[in-house]
Amino acid sequence: MPSPPLAPIDSPLDFDHLSRMTLGDAELEQEVLAMFAEQAVRLIAAMAALPTDAGALAHKLKGSARGIGAFAVADAAASLETAIRIGHNQPHAFAALKEAVAEVRAAIETILKH
């Protein structure tokens, strides 16, 4: 199921959602974003060769992404899960997920520098 925000956003992160999930604690937001960025790198690397557990790894990334408001990553991970399940177009879905993760990681890096 897609996870679009209620209003269009210019950022790959929905900051209102992130704030709700962290109860407005800015320090916790920073910690959660850093943890997500690290986890995303590990999961993308683990999925690179589309191993047999790639669907489970994509599912894990989808849940984490929804938790921080990275809905484009969550949707791309869901698309990869579907592609793996039906056995069609996995490389394209993985490339889209990598791109979405790169965008959100760039946004997180900018936030964490401030």
> Which CATH number characterizes residue 36's domain?
1.20.120
Q: For residues 111 and 50, give the distance between their C-alpha atoms in angstroms, rounded to a whole number.
A: 31
Q: Return the closest-CA partner of residue 86 out of 65, 55, 57.
A: 55
Total domains present in the chain: 1
Task: Give pLDDT, residue 58.
Answer: 97
What domain range includes position 84?
15-113
**Confidence band of 87 (pLDDT split at 50, 70, 90):** very high
pLDDT in tens, 36-74: 999 999 999 999 998 999 999 999 999 999 999 999 999
9 located within any domain: no
**Confidence band of 10 (pLDDT split at 50, 70, 90):** confident
Task: Give pLDDT, residue 14.
Answer: 96
**Confidence band of 11 (pLDDT split at 50, 70, 90):** confident
CA 11, 12, 16, 21: dihedral to nearest 10 degrees?
Answer: -160
